[in-house]
Amino acid sequence: MLPRFAMLEHHVSPLADGIAAERGWAQAAAAGAGPQAHLWQGEPGWAVPATYARAPGWADWQARCAQAGTPVHVRSSGGGLVPQGPGLWNLSLLWRTAQSEPVQADAVYRDLCALLERTLAALGVAASPQPVEGSFCDGRYNLAAGGRKLVGTAQAWRRVEGVPVVLAHAVIVLDADPAALTVATNAFEEGLGQVRRYREDALTSVAVEAMRAGQAPAADWAGRLAGALRLHGLDGAT
């Protein structure tokens, strides 16, 4: 279950390593700073679970990605391959808990999805939790509109300096091009020698779905998202 977050920090400048930033926010939560809520965009690159780092040729592929200007960061949560960069926004929620074992993981996912449903509804997008076969980092707690994924979620329970801390995370395809993302994620899997591939029609974006629902194009989708989270999302977390 989500706590009440006093403030949403909206990081306007892209973070070079959002995973490292999350570690710092987790330390702050563990030290007693209170629940942390951060909306941020990463510089172009990739976030992968530790399973990817066990693939043959991983070190060479990671080095090639870094040389190409799209570094790969290994995260602590599960799931699959997730791109970072323009048009993709991350919501990171971190708070202290009584135990480090994920005994309430489903409740956290349900509350996170409910928060995001309210937020997207304020932007004119009707979305609901469901798996979307053929989407990158698929899971039953995706948010999808019209059967197409536009938000992925993950969580991690860990001890930070002996204090149990929860990370609940969402990656929101805000105004990135779904077709270009599909091409890029397939190229990553192919470059690493993996067999999995993703379908273009499995992915959409908040901007696409909002305009499909009759909303006017926005010059600042990120600003609208941050405002909707503050007014219709995080204020309702309990």
Which sequence spans correspond to the domains of the chain? 8-236
Q: State the residue for tokens 């930070």.
A: 160
Per-residue model confidence as pLDDT tens digits over 141-186: 999 999 999 999 999 999 999 999 999 999 999 999 999 999 999 9
Q: Which tokens in the block code for residue 83?
A: 């791109």
Q: Which fold has domain 8-236?
A: BirA Bifunctional Protein; domain 2 (3.30.930)
Listed in sequence order, the residues at least 6 apart from 96 whose beta carbon sits closer than 8 Å to its beta carbon are: 29, 30, 32, 35, 163, 164, 165, 166
- The predicted pLDDT at position 77 comes to 78
Question: Is residue 94 within 8 Å of residue 160, measured between CB atoms?
Answer: no
Q: How confident is the model at residue 229 (pLDDT cuts 50, 70, 90)?
A: very high
Write the CA distances from 79 to 20, 44, 48, 156, integer angstroms: 18, 19, 8, 11
Q: Per-residue pLDDT tens for 73-119?
A: 998 777 899 999 999 999 999 999 987 777 789 999 999 999 999 99
Bridge partners (DSSP) of residue 145 are: 148
Cα–Cα distance measured from residue 63 to residue 146, given in angstroms and rounded to the nearest whole number: 38
pTM: 0.94
On the question of pLDDT at 131 being above 70, the answer is yes
d(CA 162, CA 41): 29
CA–chain centroid gap for 231, Å, is 20
pLDDT given for residue 78 in this prediction = 78
Summary mean pLDDT of the chain: 93
Q: How confident is the model at residue 235 (pLDDT cuts 50, 70, 90)?
A: low
Is the separation of the CB atoms in 65 and 71 below 8 Å?
Answer: yes
The phi and psi torsions of 58 (rounded to 5 degrees) equal -60, -50
Decide if pLDDT at 237 tops 70: no
**What pLDDT sits at residue 198?**
98
